[in-house]
Structure 1
Amino acid sequence: MTVATSTRPQPLSADLLQKIHAYWCAANYLSVGQIYLLDNPLLQEPLKIEHIKPRLLGHWGTTPGLNFIYAHLNRVIKAQDLNTIYIAGPGHGGPGMVANTYLEGTYSEFFPNISQDTAGIKALFKQFSFPGGIPSHAAPETPGSIHEGGELGYALVHAYGAAFDNPDLLVACVVGDGEAETGPLATSWHSNKFLNPARDGAVLPILHLNGYKIANPTVLSRLPQTELESLFVGYGYKPYFVEGSEPAEMHQLMAGTLDTVIAEIKTIQREARVHGYQQRVPMPMIILRSPKGWTGPKEVDGKKTEDYWRSHQVPFSEMKSNPEHITLLESWMKSYKPEECFDSRGKLIPELAELAPTGDRRMGANPHANGGMLLRDLKMPDFRDYAIEVTKPGTGIAESTRTLGEFLRDVMKLNLESQNFRVMSPDENNSNRLNAILEVTERMSTAEILPTDDRVSPTGRVMEVLSEHMCQGWLEGYLLTGRHGFFSCYEAFIHIVDSMFNQHAKWLESCDDIPWRRPIASLNYLLTSHVWRQDHNGFSHQDPGFIDVVTNKKAKVVRVYLPPDANTLLAVADHCLRSRQYVNVIIAGKQPELQWLDMDAAIEHCTAGLGIWEWASNDRHSEPDVVMACAGDVPTLETLAAVDFLRSHFPNLKIRVVNVVDLMTLQPQSEHPHGLTDTEFDSIFTPDKPIIFAFHGYPWLIHRLTYRRNNHENIHVRGYKEEGTTTTPFDMTVVNDLDRFHLAQDAIDRTPKLKNIGAYVKQEIRNKLIEHHRYITTYGEDLPEVTDWKWGYYMGTESSDGSQPTSTDSPSTEGGEGAANSRA
């Protein structure tokens, strides 16, 4: 393929060329002013040191390129009535995004104090990177943004997520050449193999090569053009090059190139929508090569600045100690001729203002960039219809996530017509037992599909790719533009997106304080193939630490659920899919496991978030001697087996069993809206009795959540302590002291009435652990005593009490909506 160029080398009339250039100058002027000025916004008097900010923060180098692209997109949007959003990938290019949304009028509509006059420009300048103001990047406060510019690597995958199921949307995505060096961005180019032009919108990648990062050349900018072109042809794109530094030539070339690529996109979409999707066609992209810090000072103090790394952030500072820099700044800003762009009152002159689109066609006002405005509720089946029958606790077996898969299958089925629900999975949908979803849809791909492929189609809605970054990024873009989704992943490898989760959670936190940002659907994780059942894959697959990362975020954003069986998993999943503006983390195993609660009991239990399992306890009309608490499916199993063992040996021991589904209930109510009051906590856990707590994750998290509670000094937590290998399922709990025998021993050691009478039972426990080790190293599987255990096994009966469990302080919830947690 030869280097593509514009088919219309001179598409702009002389008048339009002059106006677009002036508009670009106005945006550049406002961008520089945000970085430098505190007062004298239109330089209507000589610039003085008191007009300049004492701390100069921001990034200039990428900004003129962003402004250039924005101005030219405005032209084609208005000329062709395009529905377009703008994703600014190059990090902290916030001055440009703010400047352009101000010029088009959107900014003043969202922030009336930033008015379209001199006073408004002064306020616009002062707030930038200033205490009480706005960040230096394209943050939630920036109209038109769905992309947090603070961390690099995710612009393109967000763009594709936004385009999925948005057939009329064009997503213009600027990729910085520094950002292009990141692993997630490099992988994101393959998103074009998952976009179907018959039903999806279009992504127009614009790779902006300005040559430098903060102090070094960038990799792609130093490739020979033929190699660079071959790279993107190999990715499946048709690259168009826009290169140069002379403004008039660059304006004409950019305008002609945009006209050409948009015409190509429309042709590709029309063919697919008229004749049906046939095969993947290379989609156009633009490679814009322009100087870093374009139009800025060419030299500062005799050192090269424009087209060099020195223009990356603030091209020059030291304003107090070097008055010549004040003169240089004034000259630089006046080179944009603000007096020809703004009238005497500081308002953009009409002939420039009319270049911008109007209403929702303005990129800062496009509803897709404020996805809550477009969000519609999912059509939901009644989760109770998928209930596992539980006649006696701890006797029947089911695969919890397989049951969830049947529920998600019908969520997908009910929303196929509205096309607002997708499932993301890093090649693990069936591994995680969600196979049923593929009964109503397929795995999505527009790459070559062979007859032997299993349920793969260009119309599929299960997004499988072996990149957690891409799954996370697609889902974020999808949610931020007003849709719903679900992300299942192996627990150990969800850490790959720790930083992406952090950025999304921070976005949600910020949006809660921005009145015009409408709530979006929650980001829902299912973490399965978890630490306690990764015995076959070994140590590398054993890590429950994502919970710790999540709980670091503000309480108003994060939720963590540990349903112990299928019915509680259904109740929790229903709640999470209905929720808004959260990150919900659900942790549930996929292996066959004992089932504890019937559906009515599960709803009551999940609504409260935690509760006493009375059927497993024997302290109803007295104080307990010990509280056995648990959170997580395997910890619940081992706790109940420990209780069974203890009751068989100490019939008079009063044991209270407490199960925790919603981890955040452990925090005080003052710290999390789901938290129990101190009175509730003391009522359930007691103010002074020993608490043996079996936890799914790292033990110290429970201590962190409960350190302010009255009885914290009596809480003894067992959990994962970085002991693991390729072994048997039960041995995973043994090596981490989470097994039934260690839990029973802990109860004996910490219960005063047992200290002097428990020696023989402790000796039996030691012998059982020795027998366990000898058995697994001989036969390669767990003891029959372990694999055959059901509730009441040690007590010599199938169940000591066939009645169903009840939860404390948990009124029954009628209907499906909101059933999982009334505290939400």
Structure 2
Amino acid sequence: MAPVAKDRLAALDAHWRAANYLAAGQIYLMDNALLTEPLRPEHIKPRLLGHWGTSPGLNFVHTHLNRVIQERDLDALCVWGPGHGGPAVLANSWLEGSYTQTYPDITRDAEGMAKLFRQFSFPGGVPSHVAPETPGSIHEGGELGYSLAHAYGAALDNPDLLVACVIGDGEAETGPLAASWHCNKFHDPAHDGAVLPILHLNGYKIANPTVLARLPEAELDALLKGYGHQPIYVAGDEPHEMHQAMAAAMDRALDRIRSIQEAARSADGAQGREPWPVIVLRTPKGWTGPAAVDGEPVENTWRAHQVPLSGVRENPDHLRLLEEWLRSYRPEELFDAEGRPSEQVVSCVPEGERRLGATPHANGGRLTRRLPVPPLEHFAVTVDKPGTTLHEPTRIAGALLAQVMADTAQRRDFRVVGPDETESNRLGALYDVTSKVWQERTLDTDEHLARDGRVMEVLSEHLCQGWLEGYTLTGRHGLFSCYEAFVHIVDSMVNQHIKWLKTSRALPWRAPVPSLNYLLTSHVWRQDHNGFSHQDPGFVDHVLNKSPHVVRVYLPPDANTLLSVTEHVLHSRDYVNVVVAGKQPCFDWLSLDEARAHCARGAGVWEWAGTEQGTRDPDVVLACAGDVPTQEVLAAAALLREHLPELAVRVVNVVDIARLMPREEHPHGMADSEFDALFTRDKPVIFAYHGYPWLIHRLAYRRTGHANLHVRGYTEAGTTTTPFDMVVRNNLDRFRLVMDVVDRVPGLAVRATAVRQAMADARTRHHAWIREHGIDLPEVADWTWPY
């Protein structure tokens, strides 16, 4: 390939030097931004925070992306993976003008430069890492392990988009990133955009060497080729040679990408998966920074990782070294007297939305279209009488999702992801309208595999989460279906996504994006066959610890309520929605209209199930949240009606768990008066909950009647057993609930001794029966709502 012309090369180098100067200035300076006078201690920030080591390499990549975007008129997005690369990305956004466009008070002149410097890692300012506040970003800097999955998620169904992804060599040591190299096996070059990984090897983490940087080159080459990539290497430290090498590598990579896409999009289409390019960029850690400090080497060592010169205010030698370092970039050549970037510096910068900091794909709410969710009446089950017919809730919801998938076939902005469980989770209707995306060879025995499928299955929850985050943050819609126990694998990922959404909500320039939706099924109460290892309902607890303005948790008790909840979450924006619903046959309790009204309330009395009949206050409240707890509460209510007909029982079902919280703590929370009206102020409340019982206590501990609240739930009493034995082992069964009522309603313990004894005997009979027959008692297995 022809080398870059001399004047173009000089422009690239000027841009890179300017970005390096701005990155270093953000770490150190709060005054004298252009060095118009000798550097003095008072010009230096009192606390030196930030990361220099990765910044020169990121600036180098940004500079060269600018060139190819401009010359090839590319629609591009970059995911910046290395931790705390904020100084570099902010510097480049300021140089290209997108930062000033987003924050008009940070002008592109000396005054604005001073503000840019001062705000960095400063109280009331901006974080030291790439964050929601950073224009052009969809990935939290320091969220190590997920950059490549985010990049592929952004490229899905974006055929004209180039997504560059800079992967730090520290990040490359994580498990999620190692798995992410396999994303190319799910990447359809005909319908998806291109991902260009740029593996940045600068040799060190915070205090140690990195694995990939120390691998023999032949071993690294074999590793990347084995992942199905075509490596292109750029290595060195001499700027002129490195600019030429990087320009050639970029051109070679983009020519390769264009060739792959043209073949896939031709009339015949490509056969087989072609290796996609990956650029391996090897530069010194802290490149262009201080070579040595206090007699210790810094550049190209771990010492350059964060702040290479400390104690600058107090140490005159360090102050002198800092000034020499900053002046080595020759800022007087890069900025005019007013502090504006020179024409040479910005000559390689794209214009308008082609700028990396201005791409609408990094502000996906601007591109979002409302999802066409069809009328629920087409999918609802008929409920003539509660508790007499059964359906698999997720199968019913699966038909709805399949129709959404069909209705988005042309626009391609809806995906369902999951770790190898779509059919198992009863969502197989999706395969009537699409397939699982798969780029590898297929066998005659395979089913539902296609290059252009929009269901994504890989046995890595990390990749599923990363894909969906990248997909929704760039303005598209999706759903993550997962076994309840194993969604914990992405606990830290959902943490970061929730924090991203919370911060984004406070930024008026960020448009709301489609919510990230979880459907958790194969849940704790129906993992009796897989056993203890598959029984963990704690993801709800984890999520409800997070920002109440972002998180939502729903436990629909039957098929129609699941339909109503699914419609709601698919239309929502800027939330993380967790929906827990079973895939096994479940009783139908509510008609569609009743389900909609009940979901709108979030919690309500099921009058038909109780016996208070509005004539007096209830003697006891039976509350429930979750499909299996609802069944057990209804069965307990029926037993009470049979054995203690004089008892006034109220049955309350909760769909939206946040309703239990005070209104001051969650937007969905109830006022005390509303809570007291529903649960009473002084009557016993027996609450059967899907998950760990202490969560309900935590949410309701401030309520007037909390002392009367007794919660039954999962208490880590799991094993491989029968379905009903699971609830018995955890004291959530109907017989135990009746015993709780007898124990807690004043005066009932004496009057209803025989009833309590009968319930205890039923539990004993259950234990003997399952050990002899291996199945549940007929009175349990064949039970239906009798009234």
Normalising by the residue count of structure 1, what TM-score does the alignment of the two structures yield? Answer: 0.95
CA contact (8 A) 1:196 1:277 kept: no
What per-residue deviation string (whole Å, max 9, x for no partner) do you get for residues 655-714 of structure 1? 000000011111111111111111111111111111000000111111111111111111
Q: Is the 8 A contact 1:197 1:277 kept in 2?
A: no
Which residue of the other structure, out of 182, 194, 204, is the alignment partner of 2:186? 194
- Which residue of structure 1 lines up, in the alignment, with residue 404 of structure 2? 411
Pick the aligned partner of 2:258 from 252, 261, 266.
Answer: 266
Q: How does 1:393-432 map to 2 (within 5 A)?
A: 393-432=386-425
Task: Report the Cα distance in structure 2 between the residues aligned to 1:47 and 1:107, rounded to whole angstroms.
Answer: 27
* Cα shift at 1:321: 3.2
Task: Verify the 8 A CA contact 1:163 1:201 in the aligned structure 2.
Answer: yes
Give the Cα separation in 2 of the matches to 1:437 and 1:149.
35
Give, in angstroms, the shift of residue 606 of structure 1: 0.6
Match of 2:295 among 294, 297, 302: 302
1:727 equivalent to 2:721? Answer yes
Q: Compute the displacement of 1:756 (Å).
A: 1.6
Task: Please tell me whether residue 474 in structure 1 is matched to residue 467 in structure 2.
Answer: yes
Q: Residue 802 of structure 1 aligns with which residue?
A: none
Name the amino acid aligned to 1:579: S
Residue 635 of structure 1 corresponds to 629
Gaps of 5+ in 1: 1-6, 793-798, 800-824
Q: For the residues of structure 1 that align with 2:312 and 2:377, how far apart are their CA atoms?
A: 68
Q: Which amino acid aligns with 1:76?
A: V
CA distance in 2, matches of 1:593, 1:788: 12
The question of 1:92 aligning with 2:84 is answered yes
1:752 partner SS: coil
| Identical positions, percent | 61
Q: Is contact 2:11–2:347 with CA below 8 Å preserved after alignment?
A: no
Q: Secondary structure of the residue that 1:664 maps to in structure 2?
A: helix
Residue number among 465, 472, 477 corresponding to 1:484 in the alignment: 477
**Distance in 2, Cα, partners of 1:609 & 1:204:** 45
In structure 1, what is the Cα distance between the partners aligned to 2:555 and 2:30? 51
SS of the residue corresponding to residue 252 of structure 1 reads helix
Q: Which of residues 31, 34, 44 in structure 1 aligns to 2:26?
A: 34
Q: Does 1:670 align with 2:670?
A: no
Instruction: Answer yes or no: is the 8 Å Cα contact 1:145–1:369 preserved in 2.
Output: yes
- 1:544 corresponds to 2:540: no
| Residue 689, structure 1, aligned to residue 683, structure 2 | yes
Match of 1:614 in 2: 607
Aligned partner letter, 1:354: S
Does structure 2 conserve the Cα–Cα contact (< 8 Å) formed by 1:525 and 1:586?
Answer: yes
- CA–CA separation in structure 1 for the residues paired with 2:310 and 2:258: 47
Partner SS for 2:18: helix
Deviation at 1:352, TM superposition (A): 1.7
Cα distance between partner residues in 2 of 1:72 and 1:397: 60
State the TM-score, normalizing by the size of structure 2. 0.99
Task: Answer yes or no: is the 8 Å Cα contact 2:34–2:339 preserved in 1.
Answer: yes
Among residues 63, 74, 77, which one is paired with 2:66 in the alignment? 74
Instruction: Report the Cα offset of residue 207 of structure 1.
Output: 0.3
1:704-745 deviation per Cα after TM superposition (whole angstroms, max 9, x unaligned): 111111111111111111111111111111111111111111
Selected match of 2:238 from 241, 246, 253: 246
Query: 1 CA distance for matches of 2:166 and 2:193?
Result: 17
1:584-623 equivalences in 2 (<5 Å): 584-619=577-612, 620-623=614-617
Partner of 1:444: 437
Q: Distance in 1 between matches of 2:423 and 2:8?
A: 56
The one-letter code sitting in structure 2 at the alignment partner of 1:283 is W
1:142 matched to which residue of 2? 134
Partner residue of 2:751? Answer: 757
Contact conserved, 1:137 with 1:148, CA < 8 A, in 2?
A: yes
How far off its partner does 1:351 sit?
A: 2.4
> What are the ranges of 5 or more consecutive residues in structure 2 without an aligned counterpart?
none
Structure-2 residue corresponding to 1:821: none
Q: Counterparts of 1:413 and 1:286 in 2: how far apart (Å)?
A: 38
Q: Give the structure 1 partner of residue 207 of structure 2.
A: 215
SS of the residue corresponding to residue 659 of structure 1 reads strand
Aligned to 2:113: 121
Which whole-Å CA distance do the structure 2 matches of 1:512 and 1:575 have between them? 20
What is the alpha-carbon distance in structure 2 between the residues aligned to residue 421 and residue 628 of structure 1?
A: 40
| Deviation digits for residues 199-242 of structure 1 (CA, Å, limit 9, x no counterpart) | 11000000000011111110001111111111111100100000
Which residue in the other structure is 1:108 paired with? 100
Contact 2:44 2:313 in 1 (8 A): no
User: 2:561 pairs with 536, 548, 568, which one?
Assistant: 568
Q: 1:743 maps to which residue?
A: 737
| Residue deviations 1:462-497 (CA, integer Å, cap 9, x gap) | 000000000000000000111000110000000000
Equivalent-residue separation in structure 1 for 2:501 and 2:213 (angstroms): 35
Cα contact 2:14–2:344 (8 A) shared by 1:
no
Structure 1 residue 267: deviation in Å? Answer: 1.2
1:20/1:72 contact within 8 Å kept: yes
SS across alignment from 2:747: helix
2:171 is the counterpart of 1:179? yes
Contact 1:206/1:287 (CA < 8 Å) preserved in 2? Answer: yes
Residues 235-254 of structure 1 show CA distances to partners (whole Å, capped at 9, x for unaligned) of: 00100000101110000000
Q: Deviations over 1:770-821 (max 9, x none)?
A: 11111111111110011011112xxxxxx1xxxxxxxxxxxxxxxxxxxxxx
Work out the CA distance in 1 between the residues paired with 2:646 and 2:552.
38
495, 501, 506: which one pairs with 2:499?
506
Contact 2:376 2:563 in 1 (8 A): yes
What's the CA shift for 1:576? 0.5
**Displacement after TM superposition at 1:758 (Å):** 1.8
1:372 aligns with one of 356, 365, 371 = 365
Are the equivalent residues in 1 in contact too, given 2:166–2:200 (CA < 8 A)?
Answer: yes
Report how many aligned residue pairs link the two structures. 785
Query: What letter is aligned with 2:227?
Result: Y
Distance 2:436 2:4 in 1: 45
Deviations 1:616-640 (A, max 9, x none): 0111221000000000000000111
Q: Is the 8 Å Cα contact of residues 611 and 641 (structure 2) preserved in structure 1?
A: no
Given that 1:94 and 1:138 are in contact with CA atoms closer than 8 Å, whether structure 2 keeps it comes out as yes
Deviation at 1:753, TM superposition (A): 3.3
Q: In the alignment, does 2:705 pair up with 1:701? A: no
Task: Report the Cα offset of residue 450 of structure 1.
Answer: 1.5
User: Secondary structure at the residue paired with 1:672?
Assistant: coil
Kept in 1, the 8 Å contact 2:82–2:142? The answer is no
SS for the counterpart of 1:756 is helix
Partner of residue 511, structure 2: 518
1:580-630 CA distance string (max 9 Å, x none): 110000000000121111111111101111100000011122100000000
CA RMSD of aligned residues (A): 0.8
Structure 1 segments, 4+ long, off by >4 Å, are none
1:312 Cα offset (Å): 0.4
Q: Which amino acid aligns with 2:507?
A: I
Aligned residue in 2 for 1:815:
none
